[in-house]
Amino acid sequence: MMPKKVLVADDEKDIVDLIAYNLEQEGFTVLKAFDGRQAWEKVNAEKPDLLILDLMMPAIPGMEVCRMIRRQEATASLPIIMLTAKSDPVDRILGLEVGADDYVAKPFHVRELVARVRAVLRRSEPPPEGTLPESFSFKGLEIDGPSCRVTVEGRPVTLSSREYKLLQFLIRHPGRVYSRDQLLDRVWGDEAFVEPRTVDVHISRLRNSIEPDHENPRYVLTVRGLGYKFADADR
């Protein structure tokens, strides 16, 4: 198996070198970038398996790099761990809202960061063959299981691996309500370093991608005070 390729983007060279050394000791191939423009260019040229991205960088801020990655179909599903000196919960939520899969505040323990890299990579892997239905169709939403292709009213939709797994879980249990904690347990699992608010962020991103009118969803519904569900088949 080819080693996973991780791009580390931070304007502090010592931090990049520290992370790179520890990742290389664990068998990863590491690429380096020292500003947002370099990060964006290397994402497109080198096709890394995961990006560790500092929030505050020259040329292009990390938050904008994350937005650019998520807007481009070829890179939309790239796993991203946001790395930043800001530890305010608002900054963490903003990072998740623009598309980060995880968030690590400086100063950090490098072994924890390596563990998070492994966890995010595992969560981003496609489900084992045979666990997905051959096809799914509901009111304009079409999913082809073998290819993981999603379309809405004939329009192709690009989802991150987490959004796709969340959608797959919900469509297997139409009409059943799941709380945030239940979704964290069943979709994120024990490997995740996440909080319940993360579920809301991913639900919002999923709706923005698949709902023709995300203010009035037809597929992924909110049950006030309880959680979320996929619409009943006869709705």
pLDDT digits (tens, 9 = 90+) for 169-227: 898 888 888 888 888 878 877 554 567 778 888 999 999 999 998 889 999 999 888 89
Measured between its terminal Cα atoms, the distance across the chain in Å is 46
Pick 135-230's CATH classification: 1.10.1040.10, 1.10.10.10, 3.40.1030.10, 3.30.365.10.
Answer: 1.10.10.10
Query: At the fourth CATH level, which superfamily is domain 5-124?
Result: Response regulator (3.40.50.2300)
pTM of this prediction exceeds 0.85: no
The secondary structure of residue 135, as a DSSP letter, is E
Hey, do 5-124 and 135-230 end up sharing a CATH topology, with the first three levels equal?
A: no
d(Cα 104, Cα 108) in Å, to the nearest integer?
Answer: 7
Extents of the domains making up the chain? 5-124, 135-230
Work out the angle at residue 137's Cα, subtended by the Cα atoms of residues 134 and 140, and round it to the nearest 5 degrees: 145
